């Protein structure tokens, strides 16, 4: 069980998608202008992107044990 590595991967997936969402400034600078109220919209895009990135990571790495079985005998 490697919780630390699994957690880092989950955080990295979220940060990566947040960083990628900044591209919307280039795609539509009038809507996502940071100085005219677009920062709120950019934050919403970043939040949704982070949620989707984390969900995709969890799809590929559902648990830090590496399989779907949980050994509770040692607890």
DSSP assignment of 21-59: HTTHHHH-TTTS-TTTTHHHHHHHHHHHHHHHHHHHHHH
pTM score over 0.75: no
What local confidence, expressed as pLDDT, does residue 57 receive?
85
Q: Return d(Cα 24, Cα 19) in angstroms, integer.
A: 10
Domain chopping of the chain, boundaries: 3-60
7-47 pLDDT, tens digit per residue, is 888 888 888 888 888 888 888 888 888 888 888 888 888 88
What local confidence, expressed as pLDDT, does residue 46 receive?
87
Closest CA to 56 of 4, 20, 2: 20
């Amino acid at each position: 069980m490697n919780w630390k590595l699994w957690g880092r991967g989950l955080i990295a997936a979220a940060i990566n998608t947040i960083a990628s969402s900044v591209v919307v400034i280039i795609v539509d600078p009038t809507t996502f202008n940071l100085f005219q109220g677009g920062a709120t919209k950019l934050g919403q895009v970043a939040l949704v992107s982070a949620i989707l990135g984390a969900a995709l990571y969890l799809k590929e790495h559902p648990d830090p044990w590496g399989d779907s079985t949980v050994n509770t005998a040692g607890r």
